[in-house]
Structure formats: structure tokens, C-alpha cells
Chain A
Amino acid sequence: MTQLAVAAAPILIAVLAVPLALAAYRMIRGPGYADRFVALDMLTAVSVALSALTALATGRSAFLDIGMGLALVNFVSTCAFATLLERKRGGGK
């Protein structure tokens, strides 16, 4: 019954390369720190979706655990970067 979904998963993974490339462009190009943090947020959302699709395509449900770990790390890292951005004064030297 699920052959259709399993066959569709690799195609969707290939399509997801487009937003991955766009977020990487934003992360390389900048221009500010905040833009790069937003791009990191976006990259993690894409990779959670990628790991879920990989779990379906390969039949190994351990990839779902990877997606959950990425979501957890994303929250903590975004909070840490936000605190850095808010507290860093700069220009001290």
C-alpha cells in the first residue's frame, strides 16, 4: 500500500535541495549576523524534513530520531544566538 509514498520520497528529497541551496546562499551572503541566524533556522527546518523523508525512503526509523534531535538542538541554539545578539555590545576595544 505504501509503495507510492516510498517511491515519492526520493523525488521530494531531490526537490528539497532547492531550499537548502537558497538558505546556504543567505548564510554565505549575509549581510548581518541576524541574517545568518535566520538562515541557520531555515537549514535546520529543511534538514528535519529531509531526515523524515529519508526514514520513509530507506525504511530505517532511526532517521526520525535524528530529526527529533535536530529540532531539539535548533531550539537551544536559536535561544543561545538570540541571547548573544541581544547582549553583545561591541565597540569596547
Chain B
Amino acid sequence: MIVAIVAVVLMGAGVAFIVIAGLGVARLPDVFQRMHAATKAGGIGSTLVILGVLVAGGVARPLTGVLTILFMLLTLSVASQMLARAAYMSGAELRGIERGDPLAGVLEREGAPLEERTEVSALR
């Protein structure tokens, strides 16, 4: 019984994290803040849900879940760092910065976001 309660608490916490991450993705003002919400909360949320499923038992091959957790913890940070760097270099809009851009001169940066530099923007 204790095991089932622990499993439900883990899964509920994971789902709560994912819901908060979804709110952040929908509401925050620029790409980097949305990425901050999506990557951290989304990664922890999915990890907690898989952990809860494994604790509950009843699945035949729990090793798959363990491997998924390890892989997500290893790669989500790398992937989000690459995406944030690419978004900065491609000129995505920055909002809510008070003391100027601290990365100016460190990374090269395009003058306008990609959608304004390509002809796809004519379709909108």
C-alpha cells in the first residue's frame, strides 16, 4: 500500500511539474524564458512520471524506464543549451533585460530573427 501511495505521489508531482511547464511555455514573453520553463520543468516532470510508473511495478521490463530516465537527464541539458545558443546567434528577440546584452561581442548575432530574414514570412 505504501508503495502504491509513493508511486501516485511521484506521478502526481511529475504531472504538476509538466502542467507548470506548459503554463510557462504559453505565457512567458520571449524564447529564452520559454525554453527555461520547458526544459527544466518538462525534463524533471517526465523523469518523475517514469519513476512513479517504475515504483508502481506491473511493467515487464523496468530497465527500459531506467535507461530512459538516464538518457533524458543526460541529453535534455545539452539539447537545450544548443538550442538556446542557436536561438541567440540567429537573432531571436530578447525581452526583460535591464543592463544590456551580456553576450554582445562574445557570440556573433544576426540583426533580425530568422523568420524576418527568409521569404517564409511573406506567407503569414
Interface centre among B18, B26, B71, B75 (most CB of A within 10 A): B18
- Looking at the complex, which one of A2, A26, A42 makes contact with B42 (CB distance below 8 Å)? A42
Interface contact B19-A19, CB-CB below 8 Å: yes
- Looking at the complex, which one of B3, B83, B114 makes contact with A2 (CB distance below 8 Å)? B3
Interface contact A26-B59, CB-CB below 8 Å: no
Chain A contributes a number of interface residues (CB within 8 A of B) equal to 61
Residues of chain B within 8 A of A86, CB atoms compared = 85-86, 89-90
Interface residues of A (CB under 8 A from B): 1-6, 8-9, 12, 15-16, 18-23, 25-26, 30-35, 37-39, 41-42, 45-46, 48-49, 52-53, 55-56, 59, 61, 64-65, 67-68, 71-72, 74-75, 78-79, 81-86, 88-91, 93
